[in-house]
């Protein structure tokens, strides 16, 4: 390729022999065919000098490597033209459970919901220091089995726990996350800690910045115990320390890329953790590990201080053991600091959400009808019908996803740009996987996606956003089998929120899940519906046996 480009440039610059120019014209014609274009000889001839000019511009840009932190000046917003943001809801308190007692077997604390732990701390039945020490011990005991921790933040955790206890002694209570331990996916910067992005080229990286989500949790009084594993550069569950395991089956990976966040939460090593999703990275590990994961509306949480994979797709959300816990955590982390141009502030008042019986709920019949009636998904739907007898069948607009793979073009082009420096310095050879389907090759191949095709993919995406918005406006909640059809690609492209949670187990004992989709900026409805389901069932209250009572 380099020799061919040299020939093009030499011909354009010096007016070399007629034969050289003819060869160059043929090369341009042959290359354009890979982009589904047909250039005549005259058209290709006219392009030679322009290609030289573009090449010079590229070389000038490459004089300064485009590192991951270099901002992108355009902000993707999922709301279609004419969309009106929700108005502030009437505020209503989110009461903590009363009369919560410490368990006789202290190890049972590992699986207490966040709300119950908050009640214990607020009523001074346990200190944040004691709770933090308890979860640090569990992390250290089981990390060898799960390979879910990249860095412990023990000194910082104990400082934050002591501060939480001191504030409470003075009558200062920050809310339900006050003094509660948690973990961060290790693509969020925290001053004084490594931020490795799960991959060898960055394993010693220290970013002297505090990510927005971390500062929000600091304000809420939460205690950071560990930075958790992610698949290398947010892909699957393989990182430079090994493969993060599924607590239900240690012979199986936990899926990814929020691998450690889901595994640690499912195993009771932490009450909750923060994950991210570009395409499936909260939903997939939550399904595999049997946790409850909230993928909020795109832009709900500022991504400042977070690794960029895709400016128009990356989302931040909580991974917990219940929808109610997800609501508590999301309430604390949502918002913007003005440093992420796609992030917006909007009201979230989960306690004031409609009761599940009043929600407009539908299920995607075109997906469900492909499943056997005895499947866990159909059984879960029967539970929902008891909670809300007015549930209706609908057809999810799966065919709205154009034959061209919009998602693949968008995520690949943006990822290649975000990691331009990694490719150009050849440090991509250090990444954990080197097969054709992993980042090094994806980034290299994606450099050949024409800018015009990327832009047009996003234009078709705008039409998809309008169609999905019009469909969702009929409902508050749409129930879908988690991995059905194109819904995951569609809703990640359109930015719609999703809640995934366990609904049973396969014949091999692996957790199964279902997904609730909501309208833009309306996480409250799907959380309300999910919480009602979990109050009526015990699937989310089952825990991997290896980690219980030990």
Using CA atoms, how far apart are residues 195 and 30, in angstroms rounded to an integer?
Answer: 44
pTM here is 0.95
* Residue owning tokens 């726990």: 161
Using CA atoms, how far apart are residues 415 and 197, in angstroms rounded to an integer?
Answer: 14
Using CA atoms, how far apart are residues 540 and 323, in angstroms rounded to an integer?
Answer: 9
Residue closest to 272 by CA, chosen among 226, 339, 209:
226
Average pLDDT over residues 440-462: 94
Instruction: List, for residues 73-114, the tens digit of each pLDDT value.
Output: 899 999 998 898 887 766 666 788 999 999 999 999 999 999
pLDDT at residue 420 in the model = 96
* Residue owning tokens 């955790």: 157
pLDDT at residue 13 in the model = 45
Q: Torsion over CA of 437, 441, 445 and 447, rounded to 10 degrees?
A: 130
Residue closest to 182 by CA, chosen among 218, 144, 236, 143:
218
Q: How many residues does the chain have?
A: 550
Q: Which residues contact 436 (CB under 8 A, 6 or more apart)?
A: none
Using CA atoms, how far apart are residues 301 and 43, in angstroms rounded to an integer?
Answer: 48
pLDDT at residue 4 in the model = 52
Q: Which residues contact 86 (CB under 8 A, 6 or more apart)?
A: 346, 347, 521, 522
pLDDT at residue 54 in the model = 86
Using a pLDDT cut of 70, give the percent of the chain over it.
95
Whether pLDDT at 404 is above 80: no
Average pLDDT over residues 255-262: 98
Residue 75 has a CB neighbour count (10 Å cut-off) of 13
Instruction: List, for residues 188-201, the tens digit of each pLDDT value.
Output: 999 999 999 999 99
CB 455 within 8 A of CB 100: no
Q: Which residues contact 117 (CB under 8 A, 6 or more apart)?
A: 109, 126, 131, 180, 271
Instruction: List, for residues 20-34, the tens digit of each pLDDT value.
Output: 888 888 988 998 898
Write 429-438 long-range contacts (CB < 8 A, 24+).
430/199, 430/200, 430/201, 431/199, 431/200, 431/201, 431/232, 431/233, 432/199, 432/200, 432/232, 432/238, 432/239, 432/240, 433/232, 433/238, 438/232, 438/235
Judged on CB neighbours under 10 Å (0-12, 13-18, 19+), 432 is buried
Average pLDDT over residues 303-313: 98
Using a pLDDT cut of 90, give the percent of the chain over it.
85
Residue closest to 312 by CA, chosen among 498, 75, 67:
75
Mean pLDDT of the chain: 94
At residue 55 the predicted structure's pLDDT band, cuts being 50, 70 and 90, is confident
Instruction: List, for residues 337-365, the tens digit of each pLDDT value.
Output: 999 999 999 999 888 778 999 999 999 99
Q: Torsion over CA of 478, 480, 486 and 491, rounded to 10 degrees?
A: 40
CB 529 within 8 A of CB 516: yes
The CA–CA distances, whole Å, from 469 to 11, 134, 349, 497, 520 equal: 52, 45, 22, 12, 8
pLDDT at residue 89 in the model = 64
Of 51-55, 265-269, 538-542, the poorest mean pLDDT is in: 51-55
CB 80 within 8 A of CB 466: yes
pLDDT at residue 440 in the model = 95
SS (H, E, C) 155-172: HHHHHHHHHHHHHHHCCC
Residue closest to 235 by CA, chosen among 17, 438, 63, 398:
438
Using CA atoms, how far apart are residues 534 and 383, in angstroms rounded to an integer?
Answer: 10
pLDDT at residue 14 in the model = 47
The CA–CA distances, whole Å, from 468 to 296, 387, 392, 471, 489 equal: 16, 26, 18, 5, 12
Using CA atoms, how far apart are residues 360 and 410, in angstroms rounded to an integer?
Answer: 32
At residue 49 the predicted structure's pLDDT band, cuts being 50, 70 and 90, is confident
Bridge partners (DSSP) of residue 151 are: 227
């Amino acid at each position: 390729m380099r020799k061919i480009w040299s020939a093009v440039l030499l011909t354009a610059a010096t007016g070399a022999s007629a034969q050289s120019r003819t060869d160059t014209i043929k090369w341009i014609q042959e290359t354009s065919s890979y982009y589904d274009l047909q250039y005549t000889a005259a058209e290709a001839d006219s392009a030679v000098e322009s290609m030289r000019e573009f090449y010079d511009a590229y070389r000038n840009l490459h004089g300064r490597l485009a590192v991951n932190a270099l901002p992108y000046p355009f902000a993707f917003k999922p709301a279609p033209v004419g969309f009106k943001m929700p108005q502030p809801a009437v505020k209503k308190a989110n009461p903590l459970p009363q009369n919560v007692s410490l368990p006789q077997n202290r190890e049972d604390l590992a699986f207490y919901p966040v709300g119950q732990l908050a009640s214990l701390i607020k009523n001074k039945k346990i200190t944040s220091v004691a709770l933090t020490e308890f979860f640090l011990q569990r992390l250290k005991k089981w990390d060898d089995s799960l390979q879910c921790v990249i860095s412990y933040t023990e000194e910082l955790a104990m400082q934050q726990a002591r501060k939480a206890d001191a504030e409470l002694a003075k009558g200062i209570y920050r809310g339900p996350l006050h003094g509660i331990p948690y973990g961060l996916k290790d693509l969020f910067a925290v001053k004084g800690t490594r931020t490795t992005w799960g991959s060898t080229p960055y394993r010693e990286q220290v970013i002297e910045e505090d990510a927005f989500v971390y500062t929000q949790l600091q304000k809420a009084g939460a205690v950071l115990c560990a930075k958790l594993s992610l698949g290398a550069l947010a892909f699957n569950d393989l990182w430079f320390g090994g493969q993060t395991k599924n607590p239900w089956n240690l012979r199986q990976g936990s899926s990814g890329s929020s691998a450690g966040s889901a595994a640690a939460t499912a195993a009771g090593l932490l009450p909750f953790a923060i994950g991210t999703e570009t395409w499936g990275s909260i939903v997939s590990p939550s399904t595999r590990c049997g946790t409850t994961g909230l993928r909020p509306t795109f832009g709900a949480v500022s991504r400042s201080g977070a690794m960029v994979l895709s400016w128009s797709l990356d989302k931040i959300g909580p991974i917990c053991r219940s929808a109610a816990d997800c609501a508590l955590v999301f309430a604390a982390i949502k918002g913007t600091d003005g440093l992420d141009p796609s992030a917006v502030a909007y009201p979230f008042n989960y306690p004031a959400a409609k009761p599940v019986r009043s929600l407009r709920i539908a299920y995607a019949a075109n997906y469900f009808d492909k499943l056997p009636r005895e499947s866990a998904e159909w059984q879960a739907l029967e539970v929902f019908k008891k909670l809300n007898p007015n549930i209706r069948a609908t057809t999810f607009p799966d065919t709205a996803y154009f034959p061209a793979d919009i998602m693949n073009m968008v995520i690949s082009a943006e990822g290649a740009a975000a990691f331009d420096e990694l490719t150009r310095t050849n440090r991509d050879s250090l990444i954990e996987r080197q097969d054709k389907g992993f980042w090094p090759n994806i980034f290299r191949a994606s450099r050949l996606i024409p800018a015009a095709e990327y832009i047009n993919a996003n234009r078709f995406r705008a039409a998809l956003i309008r169609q999905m918005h019009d469909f969702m406006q009929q409902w508050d909640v749409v129930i879908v089998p988690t991995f059905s059809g194109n819904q995951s690609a569609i809703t990640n492209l359109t930015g719609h929120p999703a809640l995934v949670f366990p609904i049973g187990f396969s014949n091999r004992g692996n957790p199964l899940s279902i997904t609730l989709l909501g309208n833009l900026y309306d996480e409250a409805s799907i959380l309300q519906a999910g919480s009602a389901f979990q109050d009526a069932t015990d699937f989310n209250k089952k825990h991997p046996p290896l980690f219980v009572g030990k």
